[in-house]
Amino acid sequence: MIPRLLGQQILAAAQKMPVVAVTGPRQSGKSTLVQQIFPEYSYANLEDIEQRKFAKDDPKGFLLNLGEKAIIDEVQHSPDLLSYIQVTVDRQKMAGQFVISGSQNLLLMESVSQSLAGRVAIFNLLPFSLEEIQDTSFALPAYEDYLVKGFYPRIYDLNLEPTAWLLDYIQTYVERDLRQVVNVSDLGAFRQFLEICAGRIGQLVNFSDMGSLVGVSYQTINKWLSVLQTSFIVHLLRPYHQNYNKRIVKTPKLYFYDTGLACALMNLRSVDDLNRHFAKGALFENFVVNEILKNHLNRNLHPRHYFWNAAGAHEIDLLLDKGGRLLPIEIKSGRTINPHFFDSLKYFQSLSGALPEDSILVYGGEETQKRSLAQVVGWRKLGDIPLQ
């Protein structure tokens, strides 16, 4: 069992708040984690139809039956239950009384904001981070292996063949979860949309172009993309708003929460397939963006992450806003440092005043160096990038 870094933050919050909510993708390890760190709590999973019916038909009796402290998994299946949880915690005023989890972020958050505002600490658990896995027996030799395999815990715990499991994951998601959120009449078109998204990792989102390729409207693509974000399949990186007197891109970029999932959708089943594919650099960029995001979330930090693009002339792949202090990060998959890797960082420094010591080049090699224009960080050392 690989310890999850977020567990420490959840335990600390349960000492202060009456409700703790853990959300994240299906199969990211939410149920395992909360049961592991709260072993004395009673447990109910609303994926179980009988438990769900009990919670909907008799919410007071359901909560009473759980006892003093309880874990309620997949709580989005009975959002009205949260109102009864609110009444219970307001009456009993007990820290850590309920731990709730859900795999549909938006639905869960709407319910939480309506019923539990001021009473709940909210955490996002993503699949394994490199930091969690790299010093264990599950560690892999090269970053390409991680790109293809991804980080979903079940693949590691059961030594599963990644592509087959990930394709089953997509099929299950499409057939069950998707239909709970939005009505999709043509699952084939939606699967094609997923594959197009995978092929456009790290690119600007173009709703009209995607709609033309799939044969659906701009509005439908917008809705489908929102569903993918809701279910932790993809996330968008917003452009930085400061233009420094330059014309800048204002459209977000698309990333997957797990590169293994994207590789499966692109039919990249091996490292050899990946090394021959045009998207290898974009997948490495996605991997680095994800790891920095995970490193923040695992410490209950809420990052302000952006990219910056001066109308295509120069781009900063990732820009961390640390309350007025900017950390520009350039990401390159090559294993050998090339002087051209620093060009965009140098250009951005000249416009923004960002300092070389705050500028970072992440590359596919192993070394960590201090250069005159930036700190160089090898892919294994992403934990060295400052979070605050």
Encoded tokens for 63:
């909560």
- Amino acid 33: pLDDT: 97
Backbone conformation region of residue 46, classed left if phi is above 0, alpha if psi is from -120 to 50, else beta:
alpha
From first CA to last CA, the distance across the chain in angstroms is 29
Report the distance separating Cα 143 and Cα 146, nearest Å.
5
Distant-in-sequence, close-in-space partners of 129: CB < 8 Å, separation ≥ 6 = 5, 151, 291, 294, 295, 298
Question: How high is the pLDDT of residue 58?
Answer: 96
* pLDDT digit string (tens) for the chain, length 388 residues: 789 999 999 999 999 999 999 999 999 999 999 999 999 999 999 999 999 999 999 999 999 999 999 999 999 889 899 999 999 999 999 999 999 998 877 556 677 778 888 999 999 999 999 999 999 999 999 999 999 999 999 999 999 999 999 999 998 877 677 776 677 777 888 889 999 999 999 999 999 999 999 999 999 899 899 889 988 999 999 999 776 666 667 789 999 999 999 999 999 999 999 999 999 999 999 999 999 999 999 999 988 999 998 766 789 999 999 887 899 999 999 999 999 999 999 999 999 999 999 999 999 999 999 999 999 999 999 999 988 7
Residue 111: what pLDDT?
Answer: 75
Token pair 């993809």 is found at 234
**Phi, psi angles (nearest 5°) of residue 192:** -60, -40
Q: Which domains does the chain have, with CATH numbers?
A: 6-124 (3.40.50.300), 130-286 (1.10.10.10), 305-384 (no CATH)
Dist. CA 14–CA 19, nearest whole Å: 7
Cβ atoms within 10 A of the Cβ of 105, count? Answer: 18
- Which tokens sit at 383? 């934990």
- Host H or E run for residue 325: strand 325-332
- The closest of 356, 357, 323, 362 to 341, measured between CA atoms, is 362
Q: pLDDT value at position 243?
A: 67
The answer to whether 229 and 236 are in contact (CB under 8 A) is yes
Residue 91's identity, in one-letter code, is R
* Residue positions counted in the chain: 388
Tokens 């693949």 label which residue? 155
